[in-house]
Chain A
Amino acid sequence: MSLIARNVLIALGITIVLSGTVVYAVNYLNRERVAELGAIENQISIETLSLDTQFSLLAATPCDSIASSTALTGELADLGNRLAYAEGQLGTDNAQVVQLKKQYSLLEIRDYLITKQLAAACGTKPVTVLYFYSNAGDCSDCDKAGYALSYLRTAYPTLRVYSFDYNLNLGALKTFEAVTKVKDDLPAFVVNGKHSYGFTSLADFEKQFPKGALATTTSSN
């Protein structure tokens, strides 16, 4: 075998090994990413159950669990960010991502219900936003709406935003959509029970909030 042919074969071998290593490393890191998401989700699941239990135990003084509930909502928001990032990296069709999204949606619904119960029991008036989106390519304004809500959540830490993929095939979510009477005209919002559809600008969107709600949420609860 000539020197050149030998070198070509060695170089080809190096390239294949290097490319294979890269593909393996990318898959490994993505698996780790999904595993971390799963771990966070499990943790939140336990905390949700804990809060639920705490709420039941403190039936007489349920308002003691408000702090726990608020912290939980923050963790849910962080998980939502990570999930959205993982979805962007791995694709919307990735089975593990879809599975995690389903669990995440269940946690959100559970947190929303606890928030409502606490509000009724303690007389607080939290501002909650249910946000329904789609990433199937049929919602051109969903990215803008999602970013605006991220901003509002940062600007008003006590604002409770719950994001749901409208097309996610999950029984509880379908029931939730039916109960909240949300139509498939996306993006759809339910701000303290009031429905609105479409997103034009942050300024217009803020008009959907109860008067003074955004200002007071920073100091309420």
Chain B
Amino acid sequence: MSPQMLAYPFLFLAIFFESFVLVTLLSKPARAALNRKNSALNPSVAVIVPCYNECETVAKTCESLLALDYPKDKLEIILVDDGSTDNTPIEMAHFADNPQVKIIRKENGGKHTALNAGIAATQAEIVGCLDADSFVEPSALLEIVPCFSDPKTAAVTAAMSIHQPESLIQHMQNAEYIFGITMRHTLASINGLYVTPGPFSFYKRAIVEELGGFRHGHQTEDMEMALCIQQAGYRIENAILARVYTKSPKTVLALIKQRTRWTTGFMRNVLGEYRGLIGNKRYSVLGMLVLPCALIAIVSGILLFLMTVFTFLKNLVSALEIRAGIPLSYSLLPHTSFSWFYFPVSAYIFLGFATLIASLFLIAVGKYISKTPGNLTLGLISYTFLYGIIAPLWLIRATSDVVFGRHRRWK
């Protein structure tokens, strides 16, 4: 059996999942979510900004929150300094006189403790989180609030994109984040979300307290909270026009480090405390489709990457052996004529291409329906050529950490 045969079930599943996303995107609930009307009600809202050594961005983050288009007497901003050792307290102090801003200082205990400290300090009906490296558009909160109209809705996520992408790696992440916008919008319409990201996710405070507040959640407290909400039978909605920009890793190494944390957090939560959700009909599409597919995606990402690397190296060694001793003027040039006859035809290539095209299409759709500004050309190019090479590296690292029980520091 050729190595390619191993890949076919994964490619089939990838196309199936992308088709499912596309069909669901065209279904009534997802279309209705695009036309959600603004709420006449303005519940009290508190946005918590947990900070640990965020002196460079916390002021800008806070300013973007103060610029939110929302009644000032209903909006509270809680800056929580989680024992920073840099100038974060000084930056926070600039907002001390603002009546909307509350500043909390505490011993370092991790992001989940900072969030819980913020929740304990407010009586607002809705509490949100905004990472200190993220910035929101003024209309974002008005897009979030109407999504809480259903009493069963416990949380609402926003539409994230990368703040001023510069490097190719950041453009690649921007495309990936916009892909995430499409996925979140679609899966939220059938209650299939398993993460409420740090940048601008909101919760009903009463429900968060009922569920016991945020936990460490294997360094992914946002994922743990989302899984906890789903387990308790509540809904997680998405506000596709609530735009938030987040800073992203600039280098491949920083990106791999960040994503290793996310992926290990996912695996430890889903295979640990929340394994009861997998394959459980009670949790509908989340248990029967989304979580199993997410786990299989990790396996397939690693397997397809290793298979590709193995095949590439095998062919390279073979090509070098064959060409040994032959003048470079001949061996470095192709010698087949440019004819369709030599076009590499295989189901593996075609199905892989179909998967890529579907991904690019979903990214383009995400940009269109979320009205995300900016040019995506570089993002699509870098996503096409880099993502498949870089993503498996963090998948392998994360899987290795989970298998061998290795725990890494957050920063």
Contacts and interface: CB of A to CB of B under 8 A. Distances in A.
B289 interface: yes
B84 to A, nearest CB: 45
A86 B151 CA distance: 63
Interface string A61-88: 0000000000000000010011001000
A172 to B, nearest CB: 27
Contacts of A11: 16-17, 19-20, 22-23
Contact of A15 (B12, B285, B326): B12
Nearest to B321: A144
A33 B325 contact: no
B341 A15 contact: no
Contacts of B344: 89
Nearest to A4: B285
Interface stretch (A94-102, A147-155, A161-169): A147-155
Interface in B9-46: 12, 15-17, 19-20, 22-24, 27-29
A14 B19 contact: yes
B341 A85 contact: yes
B327 A30 contact: no
A15 B29 contact: no
Taking each of B20, B327, B346, which has the highest tally of chain A beta carbons within 10 Å of its own beta carbon? B20
A202 interface: yes
Contacts of A33: 341, 345
Contacts of B17: 11
A14 B351 CA distance: 13
Interface residues of A, number: 35
Contact of B345 (A3, A29, A82, A144): A29
A46 interface: no
The prevalent SS among residues of B at the interface is helix
Contacts, number: 91
Contacts of B323: 147
The prevalent SS among residues of A at the interface is helix
B330 interface: yes
Interface string A17-34: 011001101100110010
A33 B350 CA distance: 17
Contact of B330 (A23, A81, A151): A151
Contact of B23 (A10, A25, A36, A85): A10
B345 A26 contact: yes
Given A7-B23, A11-B19, A15-B16, A143 B336 contact: no
B4 interface: no
Interface in A173-201: 201
B369 interface: no
For the complex of A and B, list the 8 residue pairs with the smallest distance between their C-beta atoms, beginning with the closest.
A11-B20, A11-B19, A14-B19, A15-B16, A22-B350, A202-B325, A201-B325, A147-B322
Given A7-B20, A154-B335, 4 more contacts: A11-B17, A15-B15, A19-B12, A81-B335
Interface of A: 3-4, 7-8, 10-12, 14-15, 18-19, 22-23, 25-26, 29-30, 33, 36, 78, 81-82, 85, 89, 143-144, 147-148, 150-151, 154-155, 201-203
Interface of B: 12, 15-17, 19-20, 22-24, 27-29, 190, 284-285, 289, 318, 321-327, 330-331, 335-337, 341-347, 350-351, 354
